[in-house]
Structure 1
Amino acid sequence: MVTINEEVKNQNGITLHLIPNEKFKTVNIVVKFKARLNRESITKRALLPYVLQQGPSKYPSRKELQIALDDLYGAVLSIDGGKKGNHHILSFRLEVANEKFIPNESSIVEDAVKLLNEVIFKPNTKDQAFNESIFNRERETLRQKIKSVIDDKMRYANMRLIDEMCDGELFQLHVHGYEEDLDQITPEDLYTYYIELLQEDQIDVYVLGDFDSNKMEKIISPIIEQEKRTTSVKNDVEEESTSKRKEPREVVDKQNVQQAKLHIGYRTNIRYQDAEYPALQVFNGILGAFPNSKLFINVREKNSLAYYASSRIESHKGLLLVFSGIAPENYQKAKDIIEEQMKAMKEGDITEDDLSETKELIVNQLLETLDHPQGIIEMLYQQVIAEKELKPDQLIEQIKNVTIDEVIEVGKKIQEDTVYLLTSEGVSANE
């Protein structure tokens, strides 16, 4: 069994997670900022990574920042945003060579931490505003990113499903923000929000690699000793109330597409922190997560109704989403067969082979994730989002012990909510 040792310390309103691990030759540092999703700030949070990645005050261009990274034996920096449940997460990731394995070097990691500190806390600003030319350029980059979603029909269909299914809920908010907000945001506005974020977000710092914890704690101090920050911020994980549909809702959009997208959203009423979560993982695995799943075999292979058919769960929101790409004229047949698979799951049409094969696939997937430093950190961070201690080895053990009866019990909680179809113009959804 894989055991991940994590030492957690709270200091100056920031939580430090030290993960000593002799397996890797690099040191990975990840700083995560967590805040509740908010319509007023989502576009600013989406824009910040683009602006901050262009370089801090000390290295005020992408080129100068890259030279500084190259000088640290090719350290790799990335910044991005994402949503988990009702929270938005900003992640700063830095991977740097471990000086233990480089002769005559003793300060690579310390220098890398100082550089990351510059990027996060000392951005390229003037008169309490971000650099105007960089801001304008990166605002256009984000605008193109937002516009590009409509060209990726699978992503677009998934976005529209969430729009309709989670109407009025925080999870509906688009992770890349909204184009109509962009022209209203100024370099001053973004800087003001950035200062607010530093004060109010919950901050977690992860350090993973082959190191001595006491020494690393001292090295990482530039990040956790920010003078302005004095208190820890608690972000609740409570779900806001959601409307329970008596009957599933059907939404049809029409565009000039050759392949229709049929996406169906279900409420699982189970989240990461719930006891049934491991059984939900297995339920989803048997339904549609793998090539041996019911959706793949029955919708795609046996009936040739879909170019793809799969499912996944939103662990922190309690959703199960089914995706399929179909010929427009096959909508009703494909929908019926997808719903038949869900019905079969709920009625216990699951063999011991289905169960054991799927559990093995899930466990192998988790073990593969734990083969990568970033995968380990992301798995550990799930506990922060859910405010529940569930270590990776515990989750793996619980999945191994899931029974068919537990999978059936999960099925009883799952409710179909919204059927979304993106189809070609001139085709009736009832064909």
Structure 2
Amino acid sequence: MIGEELFDQLEHCPESEQRKKIEEMNEIIDGMNKKEFESVFTTRMFDKIYKMIDEKKMTMENALLPLKHAGYCDALKRNFDIKIFISSLNKRFEKMIFNENKKKEGKNEKLLADLCECYLLLSPEVSSELLLICVPCFLKVASVKEETEEVQKEVEMVLLALSNIVLSEVPKELYLNEIKEIIQYHQEHHNLTRLAYQSAWGFLIYRLDKDKSLNEVIVNELHFAREAARELEELTKRLNWKNKFEETSKEEANELLVIRGWIQTLEIFVSSCQLWNEEFVGLISSVVQVFREAKDNYRDICERCIYILQIDAKIRAVKIDVLLESEAVDAVLEEIWQSTLNEGVAHESFNFFLNVSERLKEKTDNEMEEVNRKATKMEIFEKMEEEGYEDTIASLYETFDFLNEKYHDYLSLHISDYFINV
């Protein structure tokens, strides 16, 4: 393992040479896949770094450089399988964070931020006591308005670390005013990198599942749907989707990871959001656009896009004619008879049409709405008929039992439930 060999070399070279070795190592870390990454950053490796610091063979400043970079790469790729939380180094970081934060005078804010970043970027679970220190520390760094490359990178790092807080609850008074200001300032001045902006939203959206009072802020005050749609559209245009991931440039690879971050954030948003406004039309259209571009080389993104669309089809506030207007119906119809259809996309596609069919059966006492419902039913029926939808569903019917068992999610075994009857 080249990365591990470089770590071993650090033990036997002077501090001035360590920096050069660390720079080499960071370049190698950039190109590691999940398996390679996990083989290097083991409990043994973190314990080794702890020992080198303890024996003064490496300064804390030098130790933080590869650890921050490793955490950055890991969080960006959403691996979440690092072993630092069971290492001696993790315990040392916890102690140092508490001790540095307690200082009344001479507190090293940079060291505190670096320690918090390493801790949160490399740890899947964080205690509530540490969150009370780390979150305000990050928000203070992220609120710096300078637009130099160095400041932008540091802001990106702390916001990515914030977005890594997935499972832990964070008191609203600890973050809401600050994260709102960061997002609103960017909307006016465009001071954040794309990754930093996505990470700020990711942190906020992850809070929505446990705190429904955030609905109004996210939807109507900060305009998440509008912002996410714009970002996805711009990123989609910048990428050459014909290239597979391993063929992309470093810049394109990073932008693709940002798209994956937005899609992951959208999954949480559509599952947790209880409000809807007209900006959702553009958001659904942008998801359809990503889905169509990704379907040849990025099937994992396709599956996630279809999941988002089938949840949209289930939400009563999202009108079915919006799914027509955004071409969501067309996109799923195009996909369902493709030879490349995999189990995940098949499952979500069936769910999409199950939800659409169920929604279109719902009669209303409002005369105008009833006229619109019947017109929408007819339009979707004609699209399905033109694409040979019923024959396709019938040919795949035997897979419903298998998909139910694999995904532990309900799919109707009554084939007529998937049809639009006029």
Give the TM-score taking structure 2 as reference length.
0.26
Larger relative contact order (CA 8 Å, sep ≥ 6): 1
- Give the structure with the larger strand fraction: 1
Give the TM-score taking structure 1 as reference length.
0.25
